[in-house]
Structure 1
């Protein structure tokens, strides 16, 4: 099934709907949870309530994209799910745990319902963010009893991308503008296996068929497949210190820290114009 969207991430980068000179993708989760929810729990179990919370944050910041981080949703849905963890640990074969996670019917149903509400209520083009296949493989590898991440190689990532590409087909009917694979080093300090975006051809085939822009978040930059535009990360200090300058880039991804003050954020938003 081939779908099309009114805009792709590549289109947005080329011509930001916000009117900014350069498009900005905001990850405002931590900041919005602090400023809007004020200590209350993020409503992951109520997609409509989450969409309202997200929309309020978007209204404050005026981004060019609505970014849905499915890793955060997965972390919430799978926390304490001992049945799923047992199923993931049933085989030690590399990739078995990830394949089991992505094939879990209950989790898939909850994720698709959540993403559907989000996509249908978003006022900006929707971009999904997931771990890169290698990072997702590393994160689930321990369930099979494997402690040695050094045994993983780039070929394992390509195999993992086949599981991810099959899983992505569930989102075919949604108005998605792009998919970002998060390949950055995790905070937990888990092992790294360098894998280029080009290794994930099964995912590239799916996104090309659905006319989504495919990109990857590496430690230093954001790359879009078949596009010369290179994205840069706005440093957290930018929101805290007016003397911090923007890096050189064609577009930006900005994670606003929880500690940022709303009045300072508004001033720095003006600097982005």
Structure 2
């Protein structure tokens, strides 16, 4: 295992963005516009996951319309595309019943890692805003892959398992050391229709926190109620989906905002709502 080295991969961090939004808005905006942009820009055509340059162009078009303060790349979506129907990988992940083996196998797959790194490299080097990567929290990633062990019950998974999983994740993250990454967000939100598992606080993931500190990435976690940044008092609030759909939904209090724009939102309505954000 290689030792972490100090890097100056980016001059801007997510914490800097939150403190002083590049857009000039009163508060920084982090938008997940994937579903909306696919509906409005692609209009039924497939998302170009297999062509990083085409994806970057599609993404940049959405960024230009919405003007968020960062370029948020969700690697869970990318993994979903790249692993779909990969029976070789699934067989490898199911080869042992040990807790965490499936996740370790997923994150250690050389072919998959090469494809992911190539994609993120193109994205990061062409983005016009500070790049923030979003991945499942180690606990969520562990939960999502646990069924490969032959056990569908995830209730026995605990914070110790999550901490072990964070070591696999931190090893995997080293591949992005040389890229201009401003922040890393661990998505710990409960999926729609799922029961809430064991809550694992951000402080549990010491290996990832240490790596993020070495690489000068701002580390944060998205929980069900709010977003927190490691070592920073700023709290992120979620923009309600109804806000984009024209309802009277009010914005909760927060130091910065995160919003997922629904695919059903109208371009005119979204632009009008953006005006109210400053």
- Please give the TM-score of this superposition, normalised by the length of structure 1: 0.99
Tell me what 2:48 maps to: 43
Tell me what 1:192 maps to: 197
Tell me what 1:68 maps to: 73
Pick from 248, 253, 258: which aligns with 2:258? 253
Pick from 238, 257, 266: which aligns with 1:233? 238
Pick from 260, 267, 273: which aligns with 1:268? 273
Give the gaps of 5 or more residues in structure 1.
Answer: none
Q: Deviations over 1:47-82 (max 9, x none)?
A: 000000000000000010000000000000000000
Report 1:135-146 matches (<5 A): 135-146=140-151
Give me the CA root mean square deviation: 0.8
Question: Are the equivalent residues in 2 in contact too, given 1:149–1:191 (CA < 8 A)?
Answer: no
Q: What is the DSSP-based 3-state SS (H/G/I as helix, E as strand, rest coil) of the residue aligned with 1:195?
A: coil
Q: What is the DSSP-based 3-state SS (H/G/I as helix, E as strand, rest coil) of the residue aligned with 1:110?
A: helix
Q: What is the DSSP-based 3-state SS (H/G/I as helix, E as strand, rest coil) of the residue aligned with 2:155?
A: helix
Structure 1's consecutive aligned runs of 4 or more residues displaced over 4 angstroms after TM superposition are none
Q: What is the DSSP-based 3-state SS (H/G/I as helix, E as strand, rest coil) of the residue aligned with 1:151?
A: coil
Q: Deviations over 1:67-104 (max 9, x none)?
A: 00000000000000000000000000000000000000
Question: Are the equivalent residues in 2 in contact too, given 1:9–1:177 (CA < 8 A)?
Answer: yes
Pick from 125, 133, 136: which aligns with 1:128? 133
Structure 1 residue 244 displacement after superposition: 2.3
Structure 1 residue 3 displacement after superposition: 1.8
Q: Does 1:176 align with 2:172?
A: no
Q: Does 1:2 align with 2:17?
A: no
Tell me what 1:94 maps to: 99
Q: How far, CA to CA, are the matches of 1:99 and 1:158 in structure 2?
A: 13
Q: What is the DSSP-based 3-state SS (H/G/I as helix, E as strand, rest coil) of the residue aligned with 1:149?
A: coil
Q: Does 1:110 align with 2:115?
A: yes
Q: How far, CA to CA, are the matches of 2:269 and 2:192 in structure 1?
A: 26
Structure 1 residue 243 displacement after superposition: 2.7
Q: How far, CA to CA, are the matches of 2:26 and 2:120 in structure 1?
A: 29
Q: How far, CA to CA, are the matches of 1:272 and 1:255 in structure 2?
A: 15
Q: How far, CA to CA, are the matches of 1:88 and 1:165 in structure 2?
A: 19
Pick from 163, 168, 176: which aligns with 1:163? 168
Tell me what 2:220 maps to: 215
Q: What is the DSSP-based 3-state SS (H/G/I as helix, E as strand, rest coil) of the residue aligned with 2:122?
A: helix
Q: How far, CA to CA, are the matches of 2:124 and 2:173 in structure 1?
A: 15
Question: Are the equivalent residues in 2 in contact too, given 1:66–1:126 (CA < 8 A)?
Answer: yes
Structure 1 residue 151 displacement after superposition: 1.3
Q: How far, CA to CA, are the matches of 2:180 and 2:148 in structure 1?
A: 34
Q: How far, CA to CA, are the matches of 1:38 and 1:190 in structure 2?
A: 34
Give the gaps of 5 or more residues in structure 2.
Answer: none
Tell me what 2:211 maps to: 206
Question: Are the equivalent residues in 2 in contact too, given 1:150–1:191 (CA < 8 A)?
Answer: no
